Amino acid sequence: MTGGILCAMSAPYEIRQFGDPVLRRRADEITDVDDKLVRLADDMVHTMYEAPGVGLAAPQVGVEKRLFVYDIGDGPEIIINPVIDEFDGEWTFEEGCLSVPNLSWEIVRPKEVHLTGFDLDGNEVSLEADEYLARVFQHELDHLDGILLIERLDEDDRKVALRTLRERTMAADAAAQASASRFGGLRLR
Ligand code: ZN
């Protein structure tokens, strides 16, 4: 997917990964929609398409602002200061996250939501969403509150998930250390 907005002009961000403290902090309300924010939104859309993903929240690119972008096939959308004020039903869906790559879990969440927020022109948006879009909204809004999908798992699944992620982090650290000591050894001689 290439996207319709000025993607060619912007460089993608690096997506922050599980373990990065920025993913655990509550993002701040946006008070001004200025050129910088428009640029950020554009870069986030580009980063989302590059990943590729269907949604991306600002903390995932290290920016602690209440903003997310998404595209479920109808073109990119940007929501500023989103709030979900109504939830209904229950729906199970296999959910993944760009910040916790290559893993997914069946997660139960409300099936329908009503979301309000603002677009980049400062207009209020009011959206009813069901199933997949409702899932995207809840997942991205969680990111703005410092919540990762792992916290939506039941106790047993969460334990297994955290163990998997710990092992993965240790393997990556060991590989980095092995590489560092090789270079360190060269420096010493
Ligand atoms: Zn995510």
pLDDT tens string 132-172: 999 999 999 999 999 999 999 999 999 999 999 999 888 88
Q: Is residue 96 part of a domain?
A: yes
Judged by DSSP in three states, 142 sits in: helix
More confident: 85 or 10: 85
Residue 167 falls in the annotated catalytic set: no
Q: Is residue 6 part of a domain?
A: no
d(Cα 29, Cα 112) in Å, to the nearest integer? 24
β-pairing, 100-109 with 112-118? unpaired
User: Does the model's pTM come out above 0.95?
Assistant: no
Q: Is residue 148 part of a domain?
A: yes
The residues pairing with 68 across neighbouring beta strands, listed in sequence order, are 57, 79
Q: Is residue 13 part of a domain?
A: no
> What's the CATH number where 41 sits?
3.90.45.10
Domain containing 91 equals: 21-175
Nearest Cα neighbor of 139 from 166, 104, 163 is 104
Number of domain units in the chain: 1
Ligand 1 center from residue 24 Cα (angstroms): 12
Backbone angles phi, psi at 18, to 5 degrees: -45, 130
Ligand 1 center from residue 131 Cα (angstroms): 17
Backbone angles phi, psi at 96, to 5 degrees: -125, 180
% of the chain beyond a pLDDT of 70: 90
